[in-house]
Chain A
Amino acid sequence: MTDMSNTEPTTPPHSQWYDVWHQFKAHKGALIGGIVFIVIVLGVFIGPWLWPYDATFIDIRSRNQGPSLAHPFGTDQLGRDLLARMMAGGQTSIAVGLTAMALALGLGSLVGITAGYFKKLDGPLMRLTDLFLALPILPLLLVMMMLFREPLSAAVGPERGIFILIVVAIGITSWMPTARIVRGDVLAIKEREFVLAARSIGTSNKNMITRHILPNVLSPIMVSATLGIANAIITESALSFLGLGFPPDFPTWGRLLNDAVQYLQDYPERVFWPGLAISLTVLSVNYLGDGLRDALDPRIRGR
């Protein structure tokens, strides 16, 4: 029994999240993606405090300027500073992305966990998911924007109305993949011994879900969260680009791109910045999701 003394761990114990972080660090693309995303978010939300120009300040004498020291991205057809507009637009785009993602994630997790945990609801909820997956998303979004934009603008103000409309529209049309993934994981976890043990000591359904099931399906939810942000930002930009998003004087990245396309022949360089901002954000978030998927998967971790 001498070798029993050797079972003492040599390294101090560390939490699961330490392992996750360790694996995440090893994924260079994900690390860079995460940093780029944080930089974009900080730049967009803190930048306007440091930048002297306001996004809606019109200086008609300095309109259509190219890049200069005073206006690094140039000015638009009304002389508004494009860097300020990019930052203001980014605030809206990222806010829409995060809120719509949260809504889609909440709906998807709710449906997924309910369907996976309660056998009776599994059939109907999954049929519902299938039906939603068969809906033509982009045309429906366009139709929703057309039909509800004016009444909602009248009810709660033009900007907030459209913000709510876009977030809700994207949220209720993009929860299905999350629901499917979460349901699959819940079905697998439900059969594990610790759930049986928890049930045998009389854990209620509510506690079972919040304490035992939910923490264990957190990793697929986090991965679909990153993909959800990317998806929501692209969808919002697409709607704004088609002219069915925010009102013209309210910048978002998609809207700025749309404005720039109208001046494509004279000032082609204006297309570049909003497009780059959208692409860079989406790319960084996608890489972040890729790294998270690897880091949160215990089968890959430690390799």
Chain B
Amino acid sequence: MLTFTIRRLILAIPTLLFISLVIFLLLELAPGDPMAQVPLTVPPEVKEKMREALGLGEPMHVRYWKWLVQFFWIEPQVMFDHMFGTTYSEDKLRVISWQHRGPVMDVVVERLPQTLWVVGFSYIVGILIALPIGIYSAYKQYSMFDQAGTFITMIGYSIPPFFTGPLVIVIFSVQLGWFPFIYDTTHQVTDWDSFVYQLRQMIMPVMVLAMQTTAQISRYMRASMLDNLNQDYVRTARAKGLSERVVVLVHVLRNSMIPVVTVIALGLPAVFGGAIITEQVFSVNGIGGQLIGAIQANDLPTVQTLTFMFAILIVFFNLIADVLYGILDPRIRYD
């Protein structure tokens, strides 16, 4: 198992390099000039100097290499310095945003907690709702509950978050006035009241994101339970006189969880992607909002870094899913 994990980790490196190259080339081949906004009164030689200051004067492969060094070598050093108070990264050039004139990573670190709170919480809520629905509708296949569950999950699957978002805003903020409809990112949790406020402003984005998660995972859970419920070992367990509860919730559930756990791991990066839209709807100031802002401001270093971070998330969770599958299912041996 360990050798497999290591092998997968090593294999992830060329994948990530390829993706970084794709992103770099896409931004490189794109027409458009970052100097286009500079006033025409600025003389051409000054413009040329500005271009060089932005690091645009050098050939393509040099810039790609520099970006790789900045991202994989200097930024980790900065993080290390920040954690242990060392000074490895002093005077080294970091990835600088054209928009804020500061390091991209500083902004990311500022914004990431908002996204993680909303996305992480919604994913957990979604899973906690999805699993019981999936289990029960498989146990009572073709019952009213199952039919209704299928219909509701199909709806949850089909309604995009940019519709459910405004819809819950209209219902719960405009009509009922229960929750604030703009997410206040400067809000600090200090006491009970501010904690309640934080919960209230999180409910709607979490609800919207969790709906997608629930729809997907409960489908998988149901299918996986159905596969296992007719197996011979279930009959054996019942014949031994085990209670129905133990049979379903211990024997069947454990085996059914194997594929579901990998689906949960694989789905997490997609939720981050979906969070881009949800953040836009509720004005959550997370990395999705940052990406949109950077795209609108033509801030290429930020766009490049953020897109690549999304790619790292995907590759990383794919790896986790593969490893988890091997650990959970003893029939699967990679080596």
Contact = CB atoms under 8 A, between A and B. Distances in A.
Interface of A: 130-131, 134-140, 142-144, 146-148, 150-151, 230, 234, 237-238, 241-244, 254, 257, 260-261, 264-265, 268, 271-272, 274-276, 278-279, 282-283, 286-287
Contact of A143 (B18, B174, B281, B295): B295
A279 B215 CA distance: 14
Contacts of B295: 142-143, 146, 244
Given A142-B295, A282-B158, A271 B167 contact: yes
Contacts of A237: 160, 162
B11 to A, nearest CB: 10
Q: Is the interface of B mostly helix, strand, loop or mixed?
A: helix
Contacts of B292: 142, 242
Most B CB within 10 A of own CB, among A138, A140, A150, A274 = A138
Given A254-B162, A279-B160, A135 B167 contact: no
Contacts of B32: 147, 150-151
A123 B23 CA distance: 24
Q: Which of A131, A147, A244, A260 has the most C-beta atoms of chain B within 10 angstroms of its own C-beta?
A: A147
Nearest to A260: B166
B176 to A, nearest CB: 12
B307 A139 contact: yes
B174 A286 contact: no
A134 B174 contact: no
Given A134-B314, A271-B167, A241 B162 contact: yes
A242 B154 contact: no
Contacts of B26: 140, 143-144, 147
Residue picked from B157, B162, B311, most chain A C-beta under 10 Å: B162
Interface in B271-322: 273-274, 276-277, 280-281, 291-292, 295-296, 298, 303, 306-307, 310-311, 313-315, 318
Given A147-B31, A147-B32, A282-B158, 9 more contacts: A140-B26, A142-B292, A143-B307, A147-B27, A234-B160, A237-B162, A264-B166, A271-B163, A274-B163
Interface in B78-132: none
Contact of A140 (B157, B307, B315): B307
17 contacts: A134-B15, A134-B315, A138-B276, A139-B291, A150-B31, A150-B32, A230-B158, A234-B160, A238-B277, A242-B277, A242-B292, A264-B166, A268-B170, A275-B166, A279-B160, A286-B157, A286-B158
A241 B167 CA distance: 14
Contact of A136 (B18, B158, B269): B269
A257 B162 contact: yes
Contacts, number: 122
A146 B31 CA distance: 10
B253 interface: no
A261 B19 contact: no
Nearest to B161: A238
Contact of A286 (B154, B169, B277): B154
Contacts of B307: 136, 139-140, 143
Contacts of B315: 134
B15 A131 contact: yes
B306 to A, nearest CB: 7
Interface of B: 15, 18-19, 22-23, 26-27, 30-32, 154-155, 157-160, 162-163, 166-167, 169-170, 174-175, 269, 273-274, 276-277, 280-281, 291-292, 295-296, 298, 303, 306-307, 310-311, 313-315, 318
Given A131-B15, A142-B292, A264-B174, A136 B273 contact: yes
4 tightest CB-CB pairs across the interface, nearest first? A147-B30, A275-B163, A136-B310, A283-B158
Given A140-B23, A268-B174, A282-B158, A135 B311 contact: yes
A131 B291 CA distance: 22
B19 A139 contact: no
A138 B270 CA distance: 9
A193 B313 CA distance: 45
A34 B306 CA distance: 40
Contacts of A241: 162, 277, 280
A147 B31 CA distance: 7
Contacts of A150: 31-32
A274 B169 CA distance: 16
Nearest to A287: B154
B163 A278 contact: yes
Contact of B311 (A136, A147, A230, A254): A136
Contact of B318 (A134, A144, A148, A274): A134
A229 B295 CA distance: 27
B151 to A, nearest CB: 8
